[in-house]
């Protein structure tokens, strides 16, 4: 349970059920079970209030959000359900039954809206009161939870927590867009736009090697080795999640946002391309020099370089940069673009801290990421059998893992519920020290908004490296 927060007042705790819904049961695929025990993904959408009258929030905005949520959930039934593990089943399943619904908290905060929705370093622990708690226990785990928080005379925040074993970032964003769509129409007869219609058929995901059971067994091993509750470790069907960071360490984390505009990205590309033929890339593919590099590669290479320099101050000599590749279009045959669930697979690129002290360090990591993506195009699941062994190897060597969440392609700053676009969107999965998030620039200038979660002293070193590095590229 979170500690009491005197700045937050709870007005209502309710459950919103889908309108006119039938029961549904879906299996979890190996894509889902790969993320089975990880912490829920928590996102915050900050919006300015269209009216200063306090009654508008409670008498107009909230009823409209509730009604449209019920309409949207009709199309996204898994979000209103739970993960359960039937006695006669080898695997857990997603189940929606009559009477299920999404937990919704209506709250009011006396904190500073501008501070929470800003870019400067903010204590990550304080965001805990803006994201809803996702109930999980041995026998049942909620799929999603929502919270709407009013900042009087300033704005409001929509917080969503989703179980990582049920949906990836693309699916979660599709749901938020659908909710916003129904909030603008508020009509049960309004058809959901084709690009927002989820595809639920799990039979399209082929698992000829039994990866689903293998991944479940790996999670059971990790639970036992983690030294947690002995009852959890002995209960092979426990649905409890694992925490990545101790509560004491979480108190030290800060969240900050950094912008890379189009000019910055062009400068990074120029430096990388100039040094491209002079450096080696991990798992060299011997491909010719690319004519262009994606925004993802340029952003990842620069941010990862700055993070690695920040971590070196802690004596971290080995770092691993991890990102998740969307497999929908990379599978054979490809899955529908609107496939709902997890369909991402992790890929890792290792580096030594000394690489980033070199003049060509930025090009080294850019080339490693580029080559890794090229390998994914040839076989996105080639490392599916060894992903857990690589994670264990990293842990045994003390390698610091840095992960990436979000995407500039999700279009999160276009999610308008009818009262304007968000002024800030954050991924605040606050027990993940070292998380990098990406979103398109809210200004629509083809830039990138980078969120970062680090300890306070690491963040200070990162910010110094980030700004100084851009100046050197001039």
Q: What is the pLDDT of residues 214-252, one digit of tens each?
A: 999 999 877 665 545 544 545 678 898 876 555 556 778
Contact residues for 474 (Cβ-Cβ < 8 A; gap 6+):
267
Q: Regarding beta strands 144-151 and 102-109, do their DSSP bridges make them parallel or antiparallel, or are they unpaired? A: parallel
**Model pLDDT, residue 431:** 60
**Model pLDDT, residue 100:** 95
**Model pLDDT, residue 169:** 95
Q: Any catalytic annotation for residue 226? A: no
Rounded to whole angstroms, the maximal C-alpha distance in the chain is 64
Q: Is-contact 449 264, C-beta < 8 A?
A: no
Instruction: For the chain, report the end-to-end CA distance as a whole number of angstroms.
Output: 49
Among 111, 207, 416, 460, the one annotated catalytic: 416
Q: Which residues does the chain have with pLDDT short of 70?
A: 1-5, 223-235, 243-249, 281-287, 313-317, 352-358, 430-432
Q: Which two tokens stand for residue 43?
A: 């996102």
Q: What does DSSP assign to residue 60?
A: I
Packed helices 456-472 and 295-312: angle between N→C axes, nearest 10 degrees: 130
Nearest to 82 by CA among 61, 65, 98, 59: 98
- On the question of a common fold for 8-244 and 248-472, the answer reads yes
**Model pLDDT, residue 466:** 95
pLDDT tens for 359-405 read 788 898 899 899 999 988 889 999 999 999 988 888 788 788 888 99
Helix, strand, or coil here: 76? coil
Domain boundaries, the chain: 8-244, 248-472
Integer CA distances (angstroms), 325 to 170, 182, 244, 406, in order: 11, 30, 22, 11
Give domain 8-244's CATH number out of 3.40.5.50, 3.20.190.10, 3.30.559.10, 1.10.357.10. Answer: 3.30.559.10
pTM equals: 0.93
**Model pLDDT, residue 3:** 47
Among 164, 264, 360, 370, the one annotated catalytic: 164
Task: Given CATH 3.10.20.30, say whether it is the number of domain 248-472.
Answer: no
- Report the C-alpha gap between 15 and 78 in whole angstroms: 15
Contact residues for 45 (Cβ-Cβ < 8 A; gap 6+):
157, 158, 159, 160, 176, 412, 415, 422, 424, 425
Q: Any catalytic annotation for residue 286? A: no
């Amino acid at each position: 349970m979170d500690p009491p927060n005197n700045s937050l007042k709870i007005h209502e705790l309710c459950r919103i059920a889908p309108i006119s819904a039938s029961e549904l049961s879906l299996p979890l695929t190996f894509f889902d079970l790969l993320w089975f025990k990880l912490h829920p993904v928590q996102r915050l959408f900050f919006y300015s209030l269209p009216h200063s009258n306090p009654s508008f929030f409670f008498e107009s905005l909230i009823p409209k959000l509730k009604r449209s949520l019920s309409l949207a959930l009709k199309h996204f039934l898994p979000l209103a359900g739970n993960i359960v593990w039937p006695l006669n089943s080898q695997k857990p399943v997603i189940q929606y039954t009559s009477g299920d619904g999404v937990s919704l908290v209506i709250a009011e905060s006396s904190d500073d809206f501008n501070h929470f929705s800003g870019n400067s370093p903010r204590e990550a622990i304080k965001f805990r009161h803006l994201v809803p708690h996702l109930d999980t226990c041995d026998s049942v785990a909620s799929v999603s939870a929502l919270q709407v928080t009013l900042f009087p005379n300033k704005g409001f925040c929509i917080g969503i927590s989703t179980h990582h074993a049920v949906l990836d970032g693309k699916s979660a964003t599709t749901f938020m867009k659908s909710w916003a769509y129904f909030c603008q129409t508020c009509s049960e007869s309004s058809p959901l736009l084709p690009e927002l219609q989820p595809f639920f058929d799990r039979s399209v995901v082929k698992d000829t090697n039994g990866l689903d059971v293998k991944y479940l067994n790996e999670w059971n091993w990790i639970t036992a080795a983690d030294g947690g509750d002995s009852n959890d470790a002995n209960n092979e069907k426990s649905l409890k999640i694992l925490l990545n960071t101790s509560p004491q360490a979480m108190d030290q984390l800060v969240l900050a946002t950094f912008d890379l505009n189009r000019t910055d990205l062009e400068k990074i590309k120029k430096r990388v391309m100039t040094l491209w033929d002079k450096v080696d890339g991990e798992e060299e593919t011997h491909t010719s020099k690319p004519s262009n590099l994606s925004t993802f590669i340029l952003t990842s290479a620069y941010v990862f370089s700055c993070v690695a320099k920040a971590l070196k101050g802690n004596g971290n000599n080995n770092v691993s940069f991890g990102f998740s590749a969307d497999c929908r279009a990379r599978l054979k045959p490809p899955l529908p673009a609107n496939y709902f669930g997890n369909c991402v697979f992790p890929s890792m690129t290792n580096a030594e801290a000394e690489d980033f002290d070199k003049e060509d360090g930025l090009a080294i990591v850019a080339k490693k990421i580029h080559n890794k993506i090229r390998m994914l195009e040839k076989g996105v699941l080639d490392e599916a059998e060894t992903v857990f062994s690589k994670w264990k190897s990293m842990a045994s060597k003390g390698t610091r893992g840095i992960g990436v969440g979000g995407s500039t392609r999700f279009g999160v700053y276009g999610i308008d519920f009818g009262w304007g676009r968000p002024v800030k969107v954050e991924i605040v999965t606050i027990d993940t020290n070292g998380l990098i998030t990406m979103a398109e620039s809210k200004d629509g200038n083809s830039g990138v908004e980078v969120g970062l979660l680090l300890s306070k002293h690491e963040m200070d070193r990162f910010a110094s490296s980030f700004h100084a590095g851009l100046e050197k590229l001039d």
